[in-house]
Structure 1
Amino acid sequence: MQTEKPALPLPEFVALMALMTSLVALAIDAMLPALNQIGQEIGDGSQQQAHLVVSLFFAGMALGQLFFGPLSDARGRRFTILVGLAIFILGTLICMFATDMTTMLMGRFVQAFGVSGPRVASLAVIRDQYQGAAMARVMSFIMMVFILVPMAAPIIGQTVLLWFDWRQIFTLFLGVAAIAGGWFMIRQPETLSKERRIPFRFSQCMASAGFILSHKAVMGYVGAMGCIFGAFLAYLSASQTIFQTFYGLGQLFPLIFALLAFSIGLASLFNGRMVMRVGMARLCRSALIGCVFWCSYMMVLVLLFDGLPPIWHFVAVLFALFFCIGILFGNLNAMAMQPLGHVAGMGAAIIGSLSSLLSVPIAIAIDAFISTDVLPVAIGFSVFVLISWACFEFARCGEQSEHTPD
């Protein structure tokens, strides 16, 4: 059911919201082909330092979500999105003119903090205008576009590098942010009326945060998400090193990355069809079993080939593993949000922030051991998938003890 008539035609509204939410994926994945160049030009040349260009982005997003979530409810969606884009542009300029890695990492943190504004507030705009089946329809259209961005972004980044240096990738970010901000400011009116805004009260935020942090099921699912995403983030940060340095794939790297990103998109489509039939809990448990199987298979494969298995065999295993992980991403988040209907805004911010803050040190720890082969990746996935499963079962026990409906 639609709560009020949107100002924009549906195709334009979907395109604008997809652009806003996809800016995160573009800012992460378009950088991947350039990590080695950045590390060699302004860093110490180490792979681990270059990987931080991706990992620290999620730390900035974790704090940004906590800031922009309450700001969106207090000051409105337009203000939040435009402030976020302005901070994103500032961070992009810092990165573009960085002459050392410290400045680059600071710029990436500012970028990530800023991009949390349009990410959080765009979802709020959709919620303001649509409910129920209508919202599900709009979100499905947006997700179709969103899935394409991680597949296309490394190809876009690689194309820029063919003609220019890595700094021009940040010029691309500036252009996209300017288009998104201008389009939104001109065409999309405010969707949160003044009488519906919630003034920021520190005591209320602390009470909501206390409820969320003391909820066993919610924290269990957050732990499961953080562990799974930490291992995945380690792969994401090191993917350029793995495919271009270890396997020497050169300009084929974006195509391999796109193929593996497609597996997560495929999992999203599969999950959308199956979740109403079998339920989130059963799908998550089946996906975790699949993760354990494919992680075990990967470990055996990596050990048999001294750390570097044949490329297509390795990619096939990752494709199957990422399909299982793709099922977990959305379902774990939905299950964590399930008991938090009365504090949904704060709940979404805290869940997103905590899972990101947990995943970043996990990714950095795994990436610290990646030097000549993919054994640390296999070990990282194997260990943290098992911890994630333990967190999931802890959350299920917490649901039963607190009588939370499935």
Structure 2
Amino acid sequence: MNTSARPADAPKPALRLPEFVALMALMVAQLALSVDAMLPALPDIASDLGVTDLARTQMIISFLILGMAIGQLFYGPLSDAIGRKPAILSGLACFVLGAVISMQAETLTVMLIGRLIQGFGVSAPRIVSVALIRDQYIGRAMAQVMSFIMMVFILVPMLAPAVGQLILRFAGWRAIFGIFIGLAIIVGVWFGVRQPETLTRSKRHPFSWIRLWSSTVVVVTTPTAMWFTAATGFIMGAFLTYLSTSQAIFQDVYGVGDRFPLYFALLASAIGLASFTNSRLVMRFGTRRITYVAVSTFITAFAVLLLLALAQGGTPAFGLFMGLGAVGFFGVGLLFGNLNAMAMQPLGQVAGLGAALVGSIGNFMAVPLSLLVGQFYNATPVPMLVAFVVYGGLALACMRQGMATHVDE
């Protein structure tokens, strides 16, 4: 690795690149694993906890995201005050506590409390690990490291449902939380023993409510940032709706049974392919053009699928659902990174807290949007598809407002 690509006063990376990438990828991947590995278990959890309303079962996914949205606002500033390692290790401990509570839950209320705590804790490795990487690498070196990490990370959404289903078959849904706990402990020990602190005491900033408030004011009064953050929230709302209802749609509506992880992985691979494609195209075409194409693709694909569903009694042919779904989710894969980059562009003076606030606001929007759609589930994909088209249209409207003041890079 070219050491000149690091800040002059940055600590020299103590781990060789392959080990560092593997460790950071596991850090980031715990969120996706905590969501996707649970999907095959939702019917069993509902049965054991006496839940008959599918919309309430979907909250098992939404509450994790809600906890993460809250945690981002806490762990970002905390890592600047006490260092990266204590922040990440405390987050992992919180994550384990939440998983233990959920694993032992006998009611949905206790389950949701555990998931909220789990999400709060997982926000630390998810968010602070990026700051830790930034402490050691900059410019092209950081881009290279992040690319390697994302290559590993993208495998998790593809494989996690299969892992969850395998555990479910042999040990029951509570054992899935045991996997979360075991992995968090392994990652915590590995990280604690092998990774040195990257934020020296001289660079730490005491936690300040005044500083947090002033940074929040800067973010929420920057129109470009807010419009693109709102667009991200609508797209996240659509995607969280899919995550929350995917098990029911694949297994209950289409009856795919144990093949659910396979079909889920196929649609997830469309997002991964889009992320790879975006890395190749964004420097050539710019974020503005790509996001317009992406959101138009997303809306068009799911609008066509909605019309086909309405014409076929509410449930389109499975091949059409998979084909047009892959096209639509390819658009999602192009949107996530670009919308976040455009939201962050005018926030250079508050980049650290700005990133946490942008992420949290988007997630705070996504959770109620997803829960709203869940109330209308009718054993067909129609409510989800309506939400995709409506939320995509609202995201496009927000993007148009943001573009009025955005300078493409």
For residue 379 of structure 1, the aligned residue among 374, 386, 403 is: 386
Deviations 1:205-229 (A, max 9, x none): 1111101101111010011000011
1:383 and 1:26 map into 2 onto residues whose CA distance is: 28
CA distance in 2, matches of 1:197, 1:405: 33
| Contact 1:283/1:327 (<8 A) preserved | yes
Q: Aligned residue for 2:365?
A: 358
CA contact (8 A) 2:286 2:408 kept: no
Give the superposed CA RMSD.
0.9
Partner of 1:129: 136
Contact persistence 2:303–2:389 (CA under 8 A):
yes
1:45 offset after TM fit, Å?
Answer: 2.0
Aligned to 1:370, the other structure's residue is in SS state coil
Deviation at 1:147, TM superposition (A): 0.4
In structure 1, C-alpha distance between the alignment counterparts of 2:299 and 2:36, rounded to whole Å: 26
Aligned counterpart, 1:97: 104
Any idea what SS the aligned residue of 1:279 has?
helix
Counterpart contact for 2:288–2:408, Cα < 8 Å: no
Supply the distance in 1 between the matched residues of 2:49 and 2:315 (Cα, whole angstroms). 29
Which stretch has the larger CA shift, 269-278 or 50-59?
50-59
Deviation of 1:44 after TM superposition, in Å, equals 2.0
Distance 1:155 1:289 in 2: 32
Alpha carbons 1:43, 1:49 under 8 Å: kept: no
CA distance in 1, matches of 2:272, 2:32: 13
Whole-angstrom distance in 2 between the partners of 1:44 and 1:201: 43
Equivalent position of 1:192 in the other structure: 199
**In 2, Cα distance between equivalents of 1:258 and 1:186:** 34
How does 1:217-256 map onto structure 2 within 5 Å? 217-256=224-263
Q: Which residue of 2 aligns with 1:107?
A: 114
Q: Which residue of 2 aligns with 1:389?
A: 396
Q: Which of 309, 333, 336 is the aligned partner of 1:302?
A: 309
Question: Following TM superposition, by how much is the alpha carbon of 1:341 offset from its aligned partner in structure 2, in angstroms?
Answer: 1.1
Aligned-partner Cα distance in 2 for 1:191–1:200 = 18
Residue 6 of structure 2 aligns with which residue? 2
Contact kept in structure 1, 2:30 and 2:122, CA below 8 Å: yes
Q: CA deviation at 1:68?
A: 0.2
**Which of 269, 272, 276 is residue 262 of structure 1 equivalent to?**
269
Q: Does the aligned pair in 2 maintain the 1:43–1:50 contact within 8 Å?
A: no
State how 1:1-400 maps to structure 2 within 5 Å.
1-3=5-7, 4-399=11-406
Secondary structure at 2:199 match in 1:
coil
**Equivalent pair of 1:30/1:153 in contact (CA under 8 Å):** yes
Partners in 1 of 2:173 and 2:193 — Cα distance?
A: 31
Q: Is the 8 A contact 1:234 1:363 kept in 2?
A: yes
Distance 1:43 1:217 in 2: 46
User: What amino acid does structure 2 have at the position aligned with 1:2?
Assistant: R
CA distance in 2, matches of 1:170, 1:205: 34
1:226–1:355 contact (8 Å) kept in structure 2: yes
Query: Residue 384 of structure 2 aligns to a residue in which SS?
Result: helix
User: CA-to-partner distance for each residue in 1:371-405, whole Å, 9 max, x for gaps?
Assistant: 21111011000111000000000111233xxxx56
Deviation, structure 1 residue 43: 3.4
Question: What TM-score results when the alignment is normalised by the length of structure 2?
Answer: 0.97
Unaligned runs of at least 5 residues, structure 1: none
Provide the TM-score with structure 1 as the length reference.
0.98
- Superimposed CA distance per residue, residues 88-121 of structure 1 (whole angstroms, 9 cap, x where no aligned partner): 0000000000000000001000000000011111
Aligned-pair CA distance for 1:285: 0.7
Q: Report how far residue 69 of structure 1 moved.
A: 0.4
Whole-angstrom distance in 2 between the partners of 1:292 and 1:238: 19
- Larger deviation: 303-312 or 73-82? 303-312
> For the Cα contact (< 8 Å) 2:287–2:408, is it kept in 1?
no
- SS of the residue corresponding to residue 383 of structure 1 reads helix
1:319-342: CA deviations, max 9, x gaps?
Answer: 000001110000000110111111
Q: Equivalents in 2 of 1:232, 1:186: separation in Å?
A: 37
Question: For the residues of structure 1 that align with 2:286 and 2:196, how far apart are their CA atoms?
Answer: 37
1:244 Cα offset (Å)? 0.7
Aligned equivalents of 1:297, 1:185: Cα separation in 2 = 50
**AA aligned opposite 2:329:** F
Give the whole-Å Cα distance in 1 for the aligned partners of 2:223 and 2:348.
16
Q: How has the CA–CA distance of structure 1 residues 305 and 38 changed in structure 2, closer, same or farther, with 3 Å as cutoff? A: same
The gaps in structure 2 that reach 5 residues or longer are none
> Which range moves more in the overlay, 48-57 or 261-270?
48-57
